[in-house]
Structure 1
């Protein structure tokens, strides 16, 4: 009596049955590609939804253009203020670091004099 290939492989101690084998995952793709594909999918769905809502892809695109323009204007308007705050914070940190170095140097000088 002849047995089929899966049965022979199941009886063989060195091999596992074909149906019990796990498929190896292919090496992971670059995560940046996954993020880009996801963003493009979200953009496509948003375009389709706005196109259906406005009954025109051009009108839906115009709405999205308005959102993007408002976001860019907000960033441009906030950027100088945020940069000024960052410069002020960095200046304060530099002053504190300089004062700490001077205090440490003075303490070290006093210790060496003793």
Structure 2
């Protein structure tokens, strides 16, 4: 029972800590629109691009998982296609976890 408790606690910490970090903005920039560009504006731009790319990769991952599911359903007993579909879904999930962890 203790390993399950520790594993559950670890999972809770892994999920909850990034949420706390997202509560604050990346770099506090002050000033009105039209002020000259500073380093904090560059950091905000990079943050916006990364956020946009993660959203795009989420959509691509969902499409690839759906395609893997389609291959699995239409395999009709073909073990080669079934294994290919499982490998595709597994690789997409691993890749998406790596993207989110980065």
Q: TM > 0.5 between the two? A: no
Specify the TM-score bucket, using the shorter chain as the normaliser: 0.3 to 0.5
**RCO greater where, 1 or 2, for CA within 8 Å and sep 6 or more?**
2
Larger Rg: 1
TM-score scaled by length of structure 2: 0.37
TM-score scaled by length of structure 1: 0.34
